[in-house]
Structure 1
Amino acid sequence: MPEHRVGTLEEFETARQELLAEEKALTRRGDELARKRRELPWVPVDKDYGFETENGTKALADLFYGRSQLLVYHFMFGPSYEAGCPVCSSIADTLDANAIHLRARDVTLICSSRAPLDKLLAYRERMGWSFDWVSTVGGDFHRDLGFLYTEDELRLFLEGDIPPMVSQMAQATGTDVFGYVTEGPGLSAYALSDGMVYRTYVTTARGLEPAMAYYGLLDRTPSGRHEQDEETHWLRRHDEYGGT
């Protein structure tokens, strides 16, 4: 634990009240951004995407399962992977626990990956999750949303110095670096209205942090995320932490 300034209770309370005012302002700003997300124009989804599910091949509209809203987490689990991405797996821990609450608000939550369905379901059983997980038929669904990359698009990255964290994650998924970074994580949202599916929102990178609940908690600890200068990622699958 690094050294830190020590003060009196009165100094703490004064600084805490100042910080609280900023936190409340940030909350109000977050409410404003949430409103703007809801006001984004809806885009009709005209392409006939196909998905392999536990109940056969389905269209995107079928994945709502009787609800009017759909959230899809694009889980990094490519055809060459032997296990899911550890970071995506940490996100899925949060998603799985919240799926039942989302269903109560007319929202279906699923994960989508390009690996064969039997691989996905076996990994889901290992992790103890219960959300619906579908395998895309072809790569268009992830590609059209910007979560699948070609070798040409990745060439400069692959010819450069590969960050140790990327090599670590590739090894953890049982594939090579190219196989790993071909896939990208993301979240997309849809509405079903009068039989038509509309895309309403897409995000990736730090836009996924609301589904990474541990970061919000770490941000409130003395050391914070404490990731500076770390060459490898501290995250592991929840069954790999050992005696922590």
Structure 2
Amino acid sequence: MSHPAPKHPVATRSQWLAARHQLWLHEKAFTHQRDELAAARRALPWVAVEQDYRFQGPDGELGLVELFAERSQLLVYHFMFADGWHEGCPGCSFLADHFDGANLHLAHHDVSLVAVSQAPYAEFQAFRKRMGWHFPWFSSHGSRFNQDFGVTVATDGSAQYNYEPYTGDETELPGLSAFYRDSDGSLYHTYSTYARGLDILVNAYNFLDLAPLGRNEDGTMDWVRHHDRYEGASGKPHCCKE
């Protein structure tokens, strides 16, 4: 689908190079600021995880430590799929389309990336198969994991999301939490992020930010569909269609 180009200034090549050099200086400063932010994120104090959270997976019940798959670092994507749903949130699915490629590399750098949803394990297996995903995906049904890490919100007027009061009507929301497993078996919560903090996980957005029209959205992810629901979709990426 094409988009009409907005009116835009046109310059000579030398004028473009001068403007590009100024933007390059801005980009370099931003890169340094991003490195400083990442260092500040790593410097946050850790909180010991003392709750015995239980999950369901393909081999039955397991604890948080098993989600590490014997690695020391764990990233949990809080995937919006509640009890009774028939398919996952389109936005979460957009993010999840990036996970399998990342996991090919993360697994060899001491990091496990998994998804966790509130729905019972059996309820999202058909959707998982439909999407063709292979990343580990577990159910937290019956535990307080989603509530304690801020993605299942209260309905009694005390709702909090993304570190501030929440006034929306969603009861399940997206997020990512990071954990560390010490050599003595102790587990620590090191970081959580929500809402626009999840943009960093969407590499498609990084490509769009380099494209002439950028993200070109009226609202965040308003154009996103499950990947098998785009016009002409066959369940395969465009580059892989026969």
TM-score bracket for the superposition, by shorter chain length? 0.7 to 0.9
Amino acid at match of 2:216: H
Q: 1:235 aligns with which of 210, 218, 224?
A: 224
The CA deviation at 1:144 is 0.6
* Percent of aligned pairs with the same amino acid: 45
| Worse-superposed segment, 60-69 or 119-128 | 119-128
Say which structure, 1 or 2, has more relative contact order (CA 8 Å, 6+ apart).
Answer: 1
CA deviation after TM superposition for structure 1 residue 221, in Å: 1.5
Corresponding position of 1:132: 136
Q: Does 1:26 align with 2:15?
A: no
Summarize the alignment of residues 191-202 of structure 1 with structure 2, pairs less than 5 Å apart.
191-193=180-182, 194-202=184-192
Task: Please state how far the C-alpha of 1:139 moved relative to its aligned partner.
Answer: 4.6
Taking only aligned residues, the RMSD between alpha carbons, in angstroms, comes to 1.8
The 10-residue stretch of structure 1 (208-217 or 86-95) with the greater mean CA deviation from structure 2? 208-217
Following the alignment from structure 1 to structure 2, what is the Cα–Cα distance between the partners of residues 242 and 189?
A: 36
The structure whose residues are more often helix, as a share, is 1
SS in 2 for 1:61: helix
What SS does structure 1 have at the residue aligned with 2:216? coil
> What CA distance in whole angstroms lies between the structure 2 residues aligned with 1:153 and 1:87?
26
Structure-1 residue corresponding to 2:102: 98
Residue 190 of structure 1 pairs with residue 179 of structure 2: yes
Distance 1:101 1:232 in 2: 27
> Which of residues 43, 48, 52 is equivalent to 1:48?
52
Residues 57-206 of structure 1 mapped to structure 2, 5 A cutoff = 57-153=61-157, 181-193=170-182, 194-206=184-196
Structure 1 segments, 4+ long, off by >3 Å, are: none
What is the TM-score of this pair, normalised by structure 2? Answer: 0.86
Asked if 1 retains the 8 angstrom alpha-carbon contact of 2:54 and 2:143, the reply is: no
Aligned counterpart, 2:203:
213
CA contact (8 A) 1:49 1:137 kept: no
**How much does 1:80 deviate?**
2.4
Q: d(CA) in 1 for partners of 2:221 and 2:106?
A: 33
Matched residue SS, 2:97: helix
TM-score normalized by structure 1? Answer: 0.85
Equivalent position amino acid for 2:20 in 1: R
Asked if the contact 1:120/1:133 (under 8 Å) is kept, the reply is: no
